[in-house]
Amino acid sequence: MSDVVEKTLTALPSLLSFDSQPGAAKLSSTSKLASLIRGITELTSKHEEEKLIQQELVAIKDQVSSPNTSMRQMKELMVRAIYCEMLGYEASFCYIHAIKLAQQGTALDKRVGYLAVALFLHESHELLLLLVNTVLKDLQSTNLIEVCMALTIVSQLFPKDMIPAILPLVEEKLTHPKEIIRRKAVLALYKFYLIAPNQVQHIHNKFRKALCDKDPGVMTASLHIYLQMIKENPEGYKDLTGSFVTILKQVVGGKLPMDYNYHSVPSPWLQIQLLRILSLLGKDDQSSSEIMYEVLDESLRRAEMNHNITYAILYECVKCIYTIHPKDELLEKAAKCIGNFILSPKINLKYIGLKALTYVVQQDPKLALQHQMTIIECLDHPDLIIKRETLELLFRITNGKNVTVIVEKLLDFLRTSKDDYTTIDLMGKVAEVAEKYAPDNKWFIATMNTVFSLGGDLMQPDIPNNFLKLISEGFDDGEQDRMLRLFAVDSYVSLLQGEPEKLPQRFLQVISWVLGEYSHLREDLEPATVVRLLAHVLDLKQASSETKSWVLLAMTKLCEGEAAMSVLQGVSETYSSSMDTVLRQRAQELQNLHLNPELWARVLPRDAFTEPLEVDSSLSFLDGYVSEALAAGAAPYKSPHQRQEELAQAKAVSMEPYGLSLPISMSLSSLDGRQSPTLLSMSSGLSGDSTDHSHKAGTTTLKLDKVKRVWGREGYLAQRESAVVEVPSPVHSADQIEEVGISQDPTPPPVADQEKQQLASSLFVGLGSQTSSSLMGKSEPKHQRLRKKAKDPVSSSEISKQTSNSIFPPPISVDNLLCNSNMDPKNHGVHLSACHVHKDDTLVLLVFISNSSNSDVHQFIVQVDSGDVEVSCLSESPVEELRCHHVEVCQYSLTAKRPSVHLEVSGLVSFNMPDRTPQTTHFSYKLPLPSFIRPLELSTEEYGTMWLAFSHDTKQNLTLVADVQDSLRATLDVLERKLHLHVVAIIGMEGIVACRLLPDQPCLMHCRVHGGTLAVWLRSPVPDLPDCLLYHCQRALQEV
Low-confidence stretches of the chain (pLDDT beneath 50): 1-2, 5, 9, 15-30, 651-748, 769-827
Query: For residues 336 and 367, what is the distance between their CA atoms, to the nearest angstrom?
Result: 11
Task: Say what the pLDDT of residue 831 is.
Answer: 77
Task: Say what the pLDDT of residue 991 is.
Answer: 92
Ranges of beta strands (E only) in 752-885 are 787-788, 815-816, 830-839, 843-851, 858-865, 869-873
Has this prediction a pTM greater than 0.75? no
Which amino acid would we find at residue 868? D
Query: For residues 19 and 72, what is the distance between their CA atoms, to the nearest angstrom?
Result: 9
| Terminal Cα-to-Cα distance of the chain (whole angstroms) | 44
Q: Cβ distance 1019 to 950 under 8 Å? A: yes
Query: For residues 728 and 725, what is the distance between their CA atoms, to the nearest angstrom?
Result: 9
Closest CA to 512 of 485, 539, 533: 533
Closest CA to 534 of 486, 583, 507, 500: 500
List, edge to edge, every strand of the sheet that includes 902-912. Answer: 858-865, 902-912, 918-928
Task: Say what the pLDDT of residue 750 is.
Answer: 58
* CB-based contacts of 431, cutoff 8 Å, min separation 6: 448, 451, 463, 466, 467
Task: Say what the pLDDT of residue 608 is.
Answer: 57
Q: What angle do CA 899, 905, 907 make, to 5 degrees?
A: 155
Query: For residues 383 and 142, what is the distance between their CA atoms, to the nearest angstrom?
Result: 56
CA 214 from chain center: how many Å?
37
* CB-based contacts of 90, cutoff 8 Å, min separation 6: 652
Q: What is the pLDDT of residues 729-774, one digit of tens each?
A: 333 333 333 333 333 334 445 555 666 666 666 666 656 543 333 3
Q: Is 215 helix (H, G, I), strand (E, B) or coil?
A: coil
Phi, psi of 646 (to 5 degrees): -65, -40
Which amino acid would we find at residue 40? I
Taking the CA atoms of 524, 526, 529 and 535 in sequence, report the sign of the dihedral they define: positive
Query: For residues 440 and 437, what is the distance between their CA atoms, to the nearest angstrom?
Result: 9
Crossing angle of helices 241-252 and 286-302, in 10° steps, is: 10
Strands 886-896 and 843-851: antiparallel
Query: For residues 767 and 467, what is the distance between their CA atoms, to the nearest angstrom?
Result: 28
Query: For residues 732 and 925, what is the distance between their CA atoms, to the nearest angstrom?
Result: 9
